[in-house]
Structures are given as structure tokens and as C-alpha cells.
Amino acid sequence: MITLTGKGVSNGIAVGRLVFFERASFVVEKKAISDTAGEIQRFYAAKYTASEQLDELANTMTEKIGKENALLFEIHRMMLDDSDYLDPILKMIETQRVCAEYAVHECGKRLAQDFAEMDDGYMRERAADVDDVSKRIIAVLAGTQQTITAEDDPVILASNDFSPSETAQFDRTKVLALVAQQGAANSHTAIFARTMGIPAIIGLGVSLAPGLGGKQVALDGEAGVLYVEPDPDILEGLEKKREQILQEQQELEQYRGKPTITKSGQRIKLFANIGSVTDVEAVLASDAEGIGLFRSEFLYLGREDYPSEDIQYESYRKVVEDMKGKQVIIRTLDIGADKQVDYFHLPTEENPALGMRAIRICLTRPQLFATQLRAIYRASAYGNTAIMFPMISDLAELRRAKHIAGQVRDELTAEKIPFNPETPIGIMIETPASAVISDLLAQESDFFSIGTNDLTQYTLAVDRQNESIREFCDTHHEAIVRLIRMTVENAHKAGIWVGICGMLGADPALTQTFVAMGMDELSVEPSYILSLRRRIAAI
Ligand code: PEP
Ligand code: MG
């Protein structure tokens, strides 16, 4: 048995076969990098591994498919050292400061295109080889080995890292759990795994040896431990833990259907966060009183092109209808930073978290923003909908965003398309600036929802993606608590409600503090709803 420890970011026990995740569709994200020399080294290391793999294939496949056919792997290996293939990749990493995966993907695509356009039939066929070689290097860079697409049984998926878009697209009936070498607890990948109820361990620190693929593993998503070929007593212990979790869930059932209220009668709205239409099922099962944060980005992630107004409208409408009159707060697009989408062609930035993201993209691309707002407003005719803008840091931004919303309402009215003109418009408080001027913002907002994940990142200057500085990220830091308190007081002075939709909202150590501040709403991942209701009932 091998025992590996990482950070448990999504609770639950899973036992099954370990399978390395292969990015079947090769959606390669464009990530900005600052250390170009390091990235080039990373590329060379991947090239070396790919070369070794091809050598081995050339040897082993000779017996199976004959020397002539196995020669293909030899050709692939030679291509890895061809300057026509290598030079553009190295140049792109150096000059455009992009990650190696992206450079390989882009340059490989261009070279394959050149081959595909040649007159000579033999040369045209080489396009597929270039493509194959690029995919191999990208797979090595990303730490992937096999595909799950052909798997019938549910498996435990392993990878170097999972992007938020990949995680959001996993079929939870096929994926028992996730385990990644990298990652941070506050990342969207971790958030999505929790929301989807998939146990997950990230930040293992070591890459899993390819030889572990196919082995039986057991995973404790709370403790953050992965057991490879677990001993019987470990399996027994995990089974007991699973039973305890089930027992705990049964005990929590007494809080189902009950109001969320303290002993002294203070009511709190207990809402859930979702990242896709399919998460509504978990929300309904969790007994949440509404949806306090619908991360609408999922509609944009993992696609080749922008989702149309109708595609968005159908999704929003489905969520709003399924929630049957309970409030659904749809956050407008929050793309950028760790959520990169190729077709947005976002600039490569030194500090994407401080760059073109969220409302900044929407304000600089008003047509894109208007399309989303039209879809949300159209859905508002079918239920209790609210709109929420992310990353607001200035009154002028709020006004510009509201102005575009006003134009959208005018258009819909002129087109006689039904919508709810009273749809509340709130903002997320996730920058220190917005908390500090929350008295001003409250005058022009219908509600506030505090995004503590980003508020923490920006207040403490700790990159939420960077696990190595975790010790410097005190989530209970007095500065955060003060900013939250200030926001609550300013909201109440202006007569609007205020909630928390960041992870801190689910932190039982702070529930009493939030209740004492007069927090009106807490929006958490569905799995926390009943335990949080019990926690509040004890106050
Ligand atoms: C937050 O920042 O706290 C938040 C809820 O938004 P996200 O995690 O999607 O950035
Ligand atoms: Mg945020």
C-alpha cells in the first residue's frame, strides 16, 4: 500500500480504479507566465519524456504491428527534434510569455496546417503526425495518460491539475473522485468539485507515477489522503467513516424543511451556490431556500465560441423554473484570471487576477454583456430572478453596468418581449475598495453579496491559486472581518440586504460572528446547507 497526502477540498470517501485523465478535446488554456526560462525548461522536460515514450513504443510495437508500422513512432520522435517544429514553440514562449501547453498547441496547429496544404500526398499525411506529437507533449505537460471516455465503470480521476472548465464538465456518475498534483483549496476547481459533490484531493505535491494507472485506490476527501492498493484495515476504517458520514446526514434530516433561525428568533436566508444548470438537482436535494450565486461562467467555459442569447436564456430559464419561485441570483460573467477561454482572446497578462476579468471584460465588451443581460431578463419572466455584478470596485463601474442593463430593458420593452422590469440588481463585494465605499454603492444597489474568496485574495494580497503561500492566508484575518462588518453596517444603513457567497460563509467558526453582525443571507455549496442550518439553530 502507498499512502499519499494532499489537501482534502471536497469531503467524501471513494474507492475505485485510478485512471489518468486525458484531455480528450484538448481544450488548451492560454496561461500567462512570468518565468519564461523556467517554462522553456518545463517544455524540454516534457519533450524528453515524450521522446522516451516514443522510443518505448517504437520498441514494443515492433513485435505487435511490425517494424515498418512501428517506424511511425520513430518519425514522431525525430519530429520532436526538428527545428521547424521546435523553434516556433520556443520563440512563442519567450516572446509572448505563454505557457508551454499553449505554445505547443498553437505552433503545432500552424505547422500541421502547412503540411495539410502541401501538394505531395505523403507530406499532407504528416499533418496528422504533427498533431499527434503536439498532443503527446501537451498530455505530458498536463500529466495525463489515459482517457476515461471509453471507461464504463466510474473511476477516480488523476491529473497534474484540473482546470475549472474540465471539472465543471465531468459526469459525476462516471467520476467517483478527483486527485490532482497541484491546485489550491480556494480555486474554482475545488469549488466546482464541492458543488458537484465529488470528493477531491489536490496539492499532492508529487506526480502520480503512470504505473499507478488502473490500480485500486481509496480516497478520503476530508483528510486529503489517497491510499494506493489499500490494506483491508484501511478499507474497513474508510467504510466506518462512510457510515458515520451517512449517519450524520441522517441526523441533519431533522432540519429539512425548517426555517433557518437562531434561538432568539433571528432569521437568516440560507441559499446555495451553483456552477451549472445540473447543480440545481443538488440544490433542491439540499433544501436551500434559494440560489445566492449562480456562477454563469460555466456557459462560456469549455466551448469553442460564445454561447448565443438563446442558449443562455434556456439555461437561466430552466434554473429559474426549477427553483419554483425561490430566488435565483445570477452573477453576470466572471471570466478571466483562473477561468480562461480561448475564444475571448484575452491579452496575456503578468497578473491576470489583477487584470482583465469579470465586470471589466463586460464593460469593455458591452455587446457581450448586453447579450447575457437580455438572456437573464428574458428568464426573469419565469420566476424570482436577480442580477449580480462581480468585481465591482467603483461607483462608476456600477453605473455603467446598470446603464447597459437599462438599455437592455428598453430594447426588450420595444420588442414586446416579456421580462420582469423590477428584477433586483445587486453587486458582489469582493474588492477592498468596494467594501470601503459600500456606503456609496449601497445607495445604488438592491443588495450586496460578499465574495470572501476574492475579498481575501485582494485584501491580504494572497493569490488564491497559489497553495505555497497558504500559511500567509489567514481567512479569519481581522482586516477581512472588519471589511465584512463595515459592508453589513453600510448595507443596513441604506436599507438593503447583505449576504456572503464566498467560502467563508460556510465556515462554522465564523457563523456566530456573522449572525451577530446581522448578516441577512449566507450562500454556500449545497452540501453545507443542513449542517449550517443546525449551526445557526444552536446560536
Ligand atoms: C468570491 O470571490 O468569494 C466568489 C464567491 O466568487 P468566485 O469564487 O466565483 O470568484
Ligand atoms: Mg469572486
172, 302: one domain: no
Question: How far, in Å, is the centroid of ligand 1 from the Cα of 295?
Answer: 9
Q: Please tell me if the CB atom of residue 501 comes closer than 6 angstroms to any atom of ligand 1.
A: yes
SS3 content of the chain, % helix, strand, coil (to 5): 50, 15, 30
In a domain, 67, yes or no: yes
| Mutation to probe ligand 1, out of 186, 297, 338, 428 (largest number of atoms < 8 A from CB) | 428
Nearest CA to 42 out of 82, 83, 98, 109 is that of 98
| Residue 64 pLDDT class (50, 70, 90 cuts) | very low
Integer CA distances (angstroms), 476 to 182, 322, 356, 431, 508, in order: 24, 36, 28, 16, 12
Q: Which residue has the higher pLDDT, 113 or 430?
A: 430
Is-catalytic flag, 99?
no
Nearest ligand to residue 339 Cα: 1
Q: 10: which 3 cell numbers?
A: 471536497
280, 215: one domain: no
Q: Which ligand 1 atom is at minimum distance from the Cα of 501?
A: 5
- The 10s digit of each residue's pLDDT in 410-432 is 999 999 999 999 999 999 999 99
Predicted structure pTM score: 0.72
Asked which of 208, 234, 260 is the last residue of a domain, the reply is 234
What CATH number is given to the structural domain containing 208? Answer: 3.50.30.10
Q: Please tell me if the CB atom of residue 297 comes closer than 6 angstroms to any atom of ligand 1.
A: no
19, 152: one domain: yes
Q: Please tell me if the CB atom of residue 438 comes closer than 6 angstroms to any atom of ligand 1.
A: no
What residue's CA is closest to ligand 1, atom 8?
453
In a domain, 340, yes or no: yes
414, 390: one domain: yes
CA distance 213 to 80: 26
Integer CA distances (angstroms), 499 to 10, 50, 200, 521, 531, in order: 23, 50, 27, 4, 18
217, 292: one domain: no
Residue owning grid cell 514494443: 60
Please state the domain count of the chain: 3
Q: Is the pLDDT of residue 458 over 50?
A: yes
223, 365: one domain: no
DSSP string, 6-62: -EEEE--EEEEEEEE---TT------B-S-HHHHHHHHHHHHHHHHHHHHHHHHHHH
Q: Give the per-residue pLDDT at 29.
A: 83
Domain that holds residue 526: 269-425+500-537
Asked which of 210, 234, 258 is the last residue of a domain, the reply is 234
- Mean pLDDT across the chain, nearest whole number? 90
90, 205: one domain: no
Q: Is the pLDDT of residue 148 over 50?
A: no
Q: Please tell me if the CB atom of residue 526 comes closer than 6 angstroms to any atom of ligand 1.
A: no
In a domain, 240, yes or no: no
| Residue 69 pLDDT class (50, 70, 90 cuts) | low
Q: Please tell me if the CB atom of residue 430 comes closer than 6 angstroms to any atom of ligand 1.
A: yes
In a domain, 325, yes or no: yes
What CATH number is given to the structural domain containing 70? Answer: 1.10.274.10
179, 120: one domain: no
| Per-residue H/E/C for 469-532 | HHHHCCCCCHHHHHHHHHHHHHHHHCCCEEEECCHHHHCHHHHHHHHHHCCCEEEECHHHHHHH
The H or E element spanning position 84 is helix 83-96
175, 276: one domain: no
DSSP state, residue 361: H
Q: Which ligand 1 atom is at minimum distance from the Cα of 273?
A: 5
Question: How far, in Å, is the centroid of ligand 1 from the Cα of 129?
Answer: 42
Q: Please tell me if the CB atom of residue 295 comes closer than 6 angstroms to any atom of ligand 1.
A: yes
Q: Which residue has the higher pLDDT, 158 or 22?
A: 158
In a domain, 184, yes or no: yes
DSSP state, residue 227: E
Q: Please tell me if the CB atom of residue 334 comes closer than 6 angstroms to any atom of ligand 1.
A: yes
Q: Is 65 helix (H, G, I), strand (E, B) or coil?
A: helix
In a domain, 454, yes or no: no
194, 274: one domain: no
- The 10s digit of each residue's pLDDT in 43-55 is 999 999 888 888 8
In a domain, 446, yes or no: no
Q: Which ligand 1 atom is at minimum distance from the Cα of 186?
A: 8
Q: Give the per-residue pLDDT at 147.
A: 40
What residue's CA is closest to ligand 1, atom 1?
451
Q: Give the per-residue pLDDT at 209.
A: 80
74, 213: one domain: no
Question: How far, in Å, is the centroid of ligand 1 from the Cα of 308?
Answer: 24
Q: Name the least confident of 28-32, 131-135, 506-510.
A: 131-135
Residue in 99, 105, 188, 473 annotated catalytic: 188
Residue 437 CB partners (closer than 8 Å, separation 6+): 394, 395
200, 279: one domain: no
| Contact indicator for 320, 357 with CB cutoff of 8 Å | no
Question: How far, in Å, is the centroid of ligand 1 from the Cα of 21?
Answer: 26
Integer CA distances (angstroms), 352 to 105, 331, 455, in order: 21, 20, 16
In a domain, 185, yes or no: yes
What residue's CA is closest to ligand 1, atom 4?
451
Residue 96 CB partners (closer than 8 Å, separation 6+): 103, 348
CA distance 409 to 99: 41
DSSP strand pairing (200-202 vs 7-10): antiparallel
Q: Which of 180-194, 197-211, 396-410 has the highest mean pLDDT?
A: 396-410
Count of CB atoms situated within 10 Å of the CB of 267: 11
Q: Please tell me if the CB atom of residue 292 comes closer than 6 angstroms to any atom of ligand 1.
A: no
Is-catalytic flag, 501?
yes
CA distance 210 to 4: 15
Asked which of 207, 234, 261 is the last residue of a domain, the reply is 234
